Structure 1
Amino acid sequence: MSLRLPRTPRREYPQPAPAASSGAFQVVQTFPVPEPNLDGSVHIRDNRILVTPPLPGGRPAVITAVHPVVLSINGRRISGSAPVLPEDVVSWEISEKPQYEITMPEDRLHVYFTLYRAERYAWKLVDCSAARELRVRAEPDRSSLLSTLTVEQVLAGLGQSSLTRNVSIPALYAELSNPTYQPVCIARGKAPVPGRDAQLQLIFRARTTGPDDEATELPGIAIVREGQTIARKVDAQDGLPGYDVFGSVLPAPRPADLRFTATADTKVLPGGEVVALRDGRPRITGNGTLERTFDLAKRYVLPESLPPGASIVFGGDVVASQCLSGVTIEAIGNVYVFGDVYHCTLAVTGSIYVQGRVVDSRLYAGSCGVVRCRMWQKANLLLEELGRLREAAQELAEAILARQETVRYGLVTVLMLEGKFKHVPPLAAVILETLGDISGSCRIKEDTSLLEKGLERLLQPWQHIDTFSDDEFNSLIERLRLVLDYISYMQEEGTRIEIGEAESSVIESAGGFLAHHGNLRLSELLTAADVPFLLEDTAT
């Protein structure tokens, strides 16, 4: 890379002519003449900033501060570069980091002291030769020690705060004497000790019965007798308060309480015990909430022969005393199969017990069963479609109004149900079909009846063309959500899946899992708890 310099003008100086007798020729020699420097300059010497003014036609000098130097010209602090003249008053100061820092987290349980430097020195400007543009630098003057940080200075920096009574003087002194330059805890509070939430304690000892109420091997059906205690509530226990670094009291978190609700089959005693009012299997629902509901699950025993592709939906326990093949069972309760299961789908809010083999089947228990049941899936789909239907009906109504025509909301809705949303009535029919099987609970009886009326109107839209309204659709949506909340609430405590063995199946349990014969071949298993295997030759 070459650099071409500007050509300097030359001035010619004539030389004396040689004598004619010499016979030599005349020589002219030239010399470059430098241009005069008209610009001002600035230099630093002995902590002083000295400025030289520019000559006429020149430019003033420029200064720039380098951290931690802060420059002021005529009392105004400058940022970046600034021109300076001899008549300007230039002053400088140092903006340096503090010698230490005190930090405290939001919980106010600790105070940390971080030392950056114990000694404090005077600062001096770095001498620089004259230049038009100058960067002003400074450095500590190691020959001029101003002070050394002490414990007393740190305490004085805390002011009159009550924090000073809790400061660890030894920890502070140790850091100042042998600096680590790391955060050091110099004050501690005491965190409150959390209490214990109210707990559910199961009391009854299950008696296992078979499909004919005869004692069988596991898995069995756990039942209680009339008057037997099902469970009791262990009351919440308050925690212990703590204190922060200022000495203020920190209250302990309030423990969560449990609310017990009984149905017609159970009773909650004043002492927190729940007893059965008849024989049956206790069902405890509300898992994951602060409310537990106790009832005795209804039981439906399947007939010995089922048609191929049979689908059973029941709001309680389902019991099969024989092998199942090609059957779909959805239950708000448990499923018990005293035989093998082939090509079946079992989705329950409780547990699944299969005494034999599970082949080419799908088993879902607890929350996994909730999201797999047809009622849950269809109701969620209907919720989404009703929302889209409302939005489309409103847009169409607004378009008709924009043409200054009369809008009949019912007519708009019916046209939508027979056109773009013609799939909504079949969805409503499926939900109506399964709703009656789970509406036995008194918790949603009233809401279910109103929901059924709303769904029936979707099946015969022309009969209700004059009464359809946006408020009605909003009410239908809210009642669908109530049913979904109910199904989700019906997840039972301690759900699990127990089988003999499985092959080419999918098993999902929101609780535990156990394979009594230990074999899982070509199967997928998802469980929220540990998976014990009873035999060493288990194959997965």
Structure 2
Amino acid sequence: MTSVPPVRLFVDGKEVANGTKVSSESAIVWEIDEKPLFEISVSEDKLEAYLTVNRTQRFAWTLKDHPRALHVALRAEEDPSIILETLSLQDILSALEQMNIKMNLDVAAIQTEILRPSRRKVKIAKGKPPVQGQDAQLELFFSETIENVFTEVKGVVDYRNHLNIPTVKRGDVIAQKTPPVEGQAGYDVFGNVLLPRPVKDILIAGKNQHVEITPDFRVIAKKAGRPRVTGNKIKYFDVNTSFVVPGNVDLETGNIVFSGDVIVYGDVMDNMIIESLGNIYVAGSVFNSTLTATGSIAVQGNVIGSNLYSGYFGVLYNRFYNHSKQLIDILEKIVESEKLLRNEISKKNMQVRYGQVMLLIIESKYQQLWGIVKELLGVIASLQSHNSDKENFQQIKAYLELFLQPANLVQTITAPKLEDFMRILREAFMRVALSQESHVQISISQSQNSTLKSNGDILIKKEGIIQCELYSAGNIIFFLDNSVCRGSKLEAGNTISAMHVGGITGVGTSLKAGKKVIVKKMYEGRVIVDRYSLDIFEPVEDKTFDRNNFV
């Protein structure tokens, strides 16, 4: 026995799909599988409800007679004379109420569909989508990157004119913030409130002496210099002054530590240090020296045996940042140890000076403090005379010198004075940390035996590099078709684009990138992209290595 749809056949409690044998003892039940008179559906976002009227009446079904046979197929037909159910407006409204659909019901559309069914989904209720707000916007009216820092006229660098360094005058608008616009809540067909995505604001602040922020969020320069913005969650605006060295940086000038841009129109000679809380521009070459900048670094000439650190690395390798952090950590431990030791002394009813306890702790546990103090004093001694933070550093210097005079330390240091010193030191430390600029780069012509690290791009404008180590959180780009990259280790968070990599003989070169490595010609070396690695033994030309093309 089988059945013909819409008849469903059940024999002994089990539904029969493909036919089965029956006997006089079999329990046979049948039913009709038909769609309901109407169906209500809701969109995935719950903003719209739909009605589908399948039919307006439901009739009784009767089985068709079938003559005696070995194989019987049950068939049924409707009996129009027996009306079991008639669709009404109230039926649909009741169903909507049970489903809690109540917003903006279109009763007229429901009634029309009952009278003239279209057999299609008809919208009968709708919600209101939330209106999304607008995030705050920050428009900068100055460039954050170095572009052609020194102008060449007939092949000669124009030292007198460095207008390509972004500069502003007093009263110039350097940025404009557009405040966020809050969105408007909506609701779905059930009446549930739909909230818009929270808007993001941008917090801005400025160094009071250098910039003004107006009530309508314009950032205005209060002095001439190079505008800059630092910070992530809070954008700090400042106008940098420049320290200009008309000739070479050498033993005569001494090391340079400056809380602004440093411009050198000559060379940086052997074993010198330039530390800038801004950008460093060098018209000549750099020999066996260290340059750290919380902004960008541009060198017009050659870089030999040197270390160049910009942006995040300019902060990380800044001597004041490092030594002050070490000193703050030690002083915090000394304060805790002093409390414990003084507590033990008080139990014995003994009177001891604060300085005596402190000196005892230093001599017994933290003798490295004196070395750090001397290093910091050396850094402060390199500060340029018109440095804007000179007064604060003079206070730090006075306290540091006290640590090198144990007798005076015992007599003069107190808990409030130590706390004051630590406060001043923390503030100076944070000024360095917050000086890291957002869009930085290192731009050079050529380099040998050097280390370059930047949390932005590294650009090699001319001959190339030999036996160098380069790290960039962004891209490493070689510009000239004949630029070389030999015996070096390069790592970039994004892309490396090189020209002639390696040589017939020599130390192997490694190119590691997060997304892509492009080479014009590579003689030998290793290429790493993401987690894929390939050793090159035979020359390859005009090759791009990425995650999808690594052979």
Q: Distance in 1 between matches of 2:348 and 2:370?
A: 30
Q: Distance in 2 between matches of 1:361 and 1:404?
A: 59
Q: Distance in 2 between matches of 1:528 and 1:218?
A: 31
- The alpha carbon displacement at 1:446 in A equals 6.5
Q: Distance in 1 between matches of 2:467 and 2:457?
A: 20
Q: Which of 496, 509, 518 lines up with 2:454 in the alignment?
A: 509
Q: Distance in 2 between matches of 1:210 and 1:291?
A: 31
Q: Does the CA-based 8 Å contact 1:509-1:528 persist in structure 2?
A: yes
Secondary structure, in 3 states, of the residue corresponding to 1:380?
A: helix
Q: Which of 124, 132, 135 lines up with 1:196 in the alignment?
A: 135
Change (3 A) 1:309 1:294: closer
Q: Which of 159, 162, 179 lines up with 1:236 in the alignment?
A: 179
CA deviation digits over 1:263-284, x for unaligned, max 9? Answer: 555556676555556654x131
Q: How does 1:445-464 map to 2 (within 5 A)?
A: 448=393, 450-464=395-409
Show the counterpart of 2:359: 414
Q: Distance in 2 between matches of 1:449 and 1:456?
A: 11
Comparing 235-244 with 382-391, which one deviates more in the overlay? 235-244
One-letter amino acid matched to 2:466: R
- The alpha carbon displacement at 1:500 in A equals 0.7
Change (3 A) 1:218 1:248: farther
Q: Does the CA-based 8 Å contact 1:224-1:230 persist in structure 2?
A: no
Q: Does the CA-based 8 Å contact 2:258-2:387 persist in structure 1?
A: no
Q: How does 1:107-126 map to 2 (within 5 A)?
A: none
Q: Does the CA-based 8 Å contact 1:322-1:337 persist in structure 2?
A: yes
Show the counterpart of 1:425: 370
Q: Distance in 2 between matches of 1:153 and 1:256?
A: 46
CA deviation digits over 1:5-56, x for unaligned, max 9? Answer: xxxxxxxxxxxxxxxxxxxxxxxxxxxxxxxxxxxxxxxxxxxxxxxxxxxx
- The alpha carbon displacement at 1:251 in A equals 4.4
One-letter amino acid matched to 1:298: S
**2:320 is the alignment partner of 1:381:** no
- The alpha carbon displacement at 1:258 in A equals 4.2
Q: Does the CA-based 8 Å contact 1:389-1:416 persist in structure 2?
A: yes
Comparing 251-260 with 363-372, which one deviates more in the overlay? 251-260
Show the counterpart of 1:296: 240
One-letter amino acid matched to 1:290: I
Unaligned runs of 5+ in 1: 1-107, 112-150, 167-186
CA deviation digits over 1:452-471, x for unaligned, max 9? Answer: 44333323232242443334
Q: Does the CA-based 8 Å contact 1:351-1:366 persist in structure 2?
A: yes
Secondary structure, in 3 states, of the residue corresponding to 1:222?
A: coil
Q: How does 1:57-76 map to 2 (within 5 A)?
A: none
**2:308 is the alignment partner of 1:354:** no
Q: Distance in 1 between matches of 2:46 and 2:468?
A: 52
Secondary structure, in 3 states, of the residue corresponding to 1:532?
A: strand
Q: Does the CA-based 8 Å contact 1:284-1:493 persist in structure 2?
A: no
- The alpha carbon displacement at 1:353 in A equals 0.4
One-letter amino acid matched to 2:367: K
Q: Does the CA-based 8 Å contact 2:46-2:127 persist in structure 1?
A: yes
Q: Does the CA-based 8 Å contact 1:327-1:343 persist in structure 2?
A: yes
CA deviation digits over 1:332-373, x for unaligned, max 9? Answer: 122111222232211111110011222332111112101101
Q: Does the CA-based 8 Å contact 1:189-1:247 persist in structure 2?
A: no
- The alpha carbon displacement at 1:386 in A equals 1.0
Secondary structure, in 3 states, of the residue corresponding to 2:423?
A: helix
CA deviation digits over 1:66-117, x for unaligned, max 9? Answer: xxxxxxxxxxxxxxxxxxxxxxxxxxxxxxxxxxxxxxxxxx9779xxxxxx
Larger radius of gyration: 1
Q: How does 1:115-514 map to 2 (within 5 A)?
A: 190=129, 193-203=132-142, 215=158, 222-224=165-167, 226=169, 229=172, 231-243=174-186, 245=188, 246-261=191-206, 264=209, 273-274=218-219, 280=225, 282-301=226-245, 303-304=247-248, 306-307=250-251, 311-324=255-268, 325-435=270-380, 437=383, 448=393, 450-514=395-459
Q: Does the CA-based 8 Å contact 1:502-1:520 persist in structure 2?
A: yes
Q: Distance in 2 between matches of 1:230 and 1:518?
A: 39
CA deviation digits over 1:163-196, x for unaligned, max 9? Answer: 9989xxxxxxxxxxxxxxxxxxxx9985663523
Aligned length: 376
Change (3 A) 1:232 1:310: closer
One-letter amino acid matched to 2:181: D
Secondary structure, in 3 states, of the residue corresponding to 1:405?
A: coil
- The alpha carbon displacement at 1:485 in A equals 1.1
Q: How does 1:17-56 map to 2 (within 5 A)?
A: none
One-letter amino acid matched to 2:183: L
One-letter amino acid matched to 1:288: N
Q: Distance in 2 between matches of 1:164 and 1:439?
A: 74
Secondary structure, in 3 states, of the residue corresponding to 1:515?
A: strand
CA RMSD of aligned residues (A): 4.5
CA deviation digits over 1:304-353, x for unaligned, max 9? Answer: 36239953322222233333333221111221112222322111111100
Q: Distance in 1 between matches of 2:180 and 2:192?
A: 25
One-letter amino acid matched to 2:454: S
Change (3 A) 1:519 1:153: farther
- The alpha carbon displacement at 1:231 in A equals 1.7
CA deviation digits over 1:410-436, x for unaligned, max 9? Answer: 211122334432332332233244346
Change (3 A) 1:365 1:462: same
Q: Distance in 2 between matches of 1:380 and 1:156?
A: 67
Q: Does the CA-based 8 Å contact 1:219-1:354 persist in structure 2?
A: no
One-letter amino acid matched to 1:200: E
Q: Does the CA-based 8 Å contact 1:285-1:489 persist in structure 2?
A: no
Q: Distance in 1 between matches of 2:420 and 2:175?
A: 38
Change (3 A) 1:300 1:269: same
- Between the two proteins, what is the percent identity of the paired residues? 21
One-letter amino acid matched to 1:456: E
Q: Distance in 2 between matches of 1:211 and 1:386?
A: 51
- The alpha carbon displacement at 1:472 in A equals 3.4
Change (3 A) 1:161 1:238: same
Secondary structure, in 3 states, of the residue corresponding to 2:462?
A: coil
Change (3 A) 1:522 1:239: farther
Q: Does the CA-based 8 Å contact 1:195-1:237 persist in structure 2?
A: yes
Secondary structure, in 3 states, of the residue corresponding to 1:519?
A: strand
Show the counterpart of 1:521: 466
Show the counterpart of 1:18: none
Change (3 A) 1:338 1:226: same
Q: Distance in 1 between matches of 2:348 and 2:290?
A: 54
Q: Does the CA-based 8 Å contact 1:339-1:357 persist in structure 2?
A: yes
